[in-house]
Amino acid sequence: MFEAARLREFKHVPAAEWQVEDSAHAISFAHDIACDLPNERIGADWIAARFASDYKGSRQRFVQLAQDAGAALTSYPVGGRSPGGEALTIDIAELSGQLPLSRAHAVLVVISGVHGSEGRVGSAIQQELLAARPQLPRAARLMLVHALNPFGMANERRSNAQNVDLNRNFTSSYSGVPEGYEELRGLLSPASAKELEASLERFEHMSTEERHALQKALAPGQYEYPGDPFYGGRERSENLNHLTRHLAARIGETARLLFIDIHTGLGKGGEDTLFFLGENAELFAKLRASLAPRHTIRDPHATIPFFNRVHGSIAGGLAKEFGAHEAASCVQEIGTYPEQLLSTLAVENYCAQAKESSLADVSRELSREFFCPANETWRRGVLQRGTDLAVRAGDALFGSK
């Protein structure tokens, strides 16, 4: 049996000091409407209030703030249980201007927890948006989708109760594996404790080029190995069905839709990278002008390790499915510990598949720290970058013709 002690020695170390920009600025949803979120407001207590320690706490805070803000709330129960046995729900809060929900002309949708273990970060950003009580323009709506994958969020797993990676599940073709997958899959899906040790050892000495090659072969999504990471499933997950059906029932006469999908774990620690998907050149040009000084914007078609090859992503699928509403998407990836992504995934997958209960706690701790570091500077930066993106996106979307 694998020694839990060996895992306990495996600690996440920040590659460099995490930086947070210093400029306080007022945020607004279109023109005359403003709400202030100055830096000095985000003190230690403030950060602690936004980042709950688990799914249950995050959900409670989100629901409370949504009620305080007068939002319409809808909850969808999904399969699986939290470690404490609690039921799990996807919760959607909606705020609108003066027009009824179905007649809003522009809708900004902010999604958290597509990957469960990244969910507390998206939840904190959504809570911050609710707490700011944004006053929306007359024909605008803000829709906050909390914990699309509540099972993963409650259990510190990227995937849902069926081990389906929701970010590889929005497709109509559920078969195949990426080129080179078979030869490399054992590294992230070790069959024994010994193999896991060998994987961790190999990741420690891997060059950046090797790491990128590995991500390219493993991360785009696969549909043949239900126990491996990045498994896209055999059909549309219930999580995705709840989201698309809710949207289809709500958007009515909406002319423009923008989805923001918040993730962590990719990219330089404490910085965020944005990827635009869909067809809305005018909106993207506005967003670029507004966001470029503060956020890194990457072209998903450019040659980054694997992003342009991802199959079945939520952001790409939503932009396509709701194309008649000028739908576009922005993925926000916030970096944590870039050197340790592969090790974290291998440990998480091994512990889940081997069902070694003696390691479950250690694995959960590692995932928790990797995807949502318990570091005040990092968390302050996340709240700033997350709210800044949402508010600027709202300005660009609601302000356009």
Q: Which amino acid is at 143?
A: M
Q: In 10 A of CB 244, how many CB atoms?
A: 15
CB of 153: closest distance to Zn ion in angstroms? Answer: 12
CB of 23: closest distance to Zn ion in angstroms? Answer: 28
How many residues are there in the chain? 401
How far is residue 235's CA from residue 212's CA, in Å, rounded to a whole number? 29
Lookup: tokens for 251: 């958007």
Which residue lies nearer to Zn ion by CB, 159 or 387? 159
Helices 341-354 + 357-371 axis angle, to 10? 150
One DSSP character per residue, 264-313 reads EEEEEET-EEEEEEES-HHHHHHHHHHHTTTSEEE-TTS--SSGGG--S-
Exposure b/e, 305-324, CB count within 10 A at least 16 = b: bbbebbbbbbbbbbbeebee
CB of 115: closest distance to Zn ion in angstroms? Answer: 4
From 191-199, 257-265, 366-374, 381-389, span contacting Zn ion (CB under 5 A): 257-265
Which residue lies nearer to Zn ion by CB, 263 or 385? 263
Distances (CA, A) of 26 to 29, 31, 35, 272, 388: 10, 12, 7, 20, 10
CB of 392: closest distance to Zn ion in angstroms? Answer: 22
CB of 378: closest distance to Zn ion in angstroms? Answer: 16
Which residue lies nearer to Zn ion by CB, 97 or 232? 232
User: What would the x/- binding string for Zn ion be over residues 83 to 112, using CB under 5 A?
Assistant: ------------------------------
Which residue lies nearer to Zn ion by CB, 62 or 230? 230
How far is residue 61's CA from residue 233's CA, in Å, rounded to a whole number? 31
Which residue lies nearer to Zn ion by CB, 2 or 371? 371
The only residue of 141, 185, 246, 263 in contact with Zn ion, by rule CB under 5 A: 263
How far is residue 258's CA from residue 109's CA, in Å, rounded to a whole number? 6
Q: Residue 301: left (phi > 0), alpha (psi -120 to 50), or beta? A: alpha
Which residue lies nearer to Zn ion by CB, 27 or 214? 214
Which residue lies nearer to Zn ion by CB, 338 or 399? 338
From 9-17, 80-88, 259-267, 312-320, span contacting Zn ion (CB under 5 A): 259-267
Half-sphere exposure of 381 (CA within 13 A, CB side): 24
CB of 5: closest distance to Zn ion in angstroms? Answer: 29
CB of 361: closest distance to Zn ion in angstroms? Answer: 23
From 21-29, 189-197, 227-235, 262-270, span contacting Zn ion (CB under 5 A): 262-270
CB of 339: closest distance to Zn ion in angstroms? Answer: 17
CB 158 within 8 A of CB 368: no
Exposed, middle or buried by CB within 10 Å (0-12, 13-18, 19+), for 292?
Answer: exposed
Partners of residue 276 on adjacent β-strands:
330
Instruction: Number of residues interacting with Zn ion: please give it, by CB under 5 A.
Output: 3
CB of 126: closest distance to Zn ion in angstroms? Answer: 16
The only residue of 115, 120, 157, 392 in contact with Zn ion, by rule CB under 5 A: 115
Binders of Zn ion among residues 117 to 146 (CB under 5 A) are 118
CB of 117: closest distance to Zn ion in angstroms? Answer: 8
**Among 262, 259, 301, 263, residue whose Cα is nearest residue 283:** 259
How far is residue 12's CA from residue 18's CA, in Å, rounded to a whole number? 14
From 42-50, 102-110, 256-264, 392-400, span contacting Zn ion (CB under 5 A): 256-264
Which residue lies nearer to Zn ion by CB, 115 or 242? 115
Which residue lies nearer to Zn ion by CB, 61 or 115? 115
Which residue lies nearer to Zn ion by CB, 337 or 398? 337
From 115-123, 219-227, 246-254, 302-310, span contacting Zn ion (CB under 5 A): 115-123
Q: Which residues bind Zn ion (CB under 5 A)?
A: 115, 118, 263
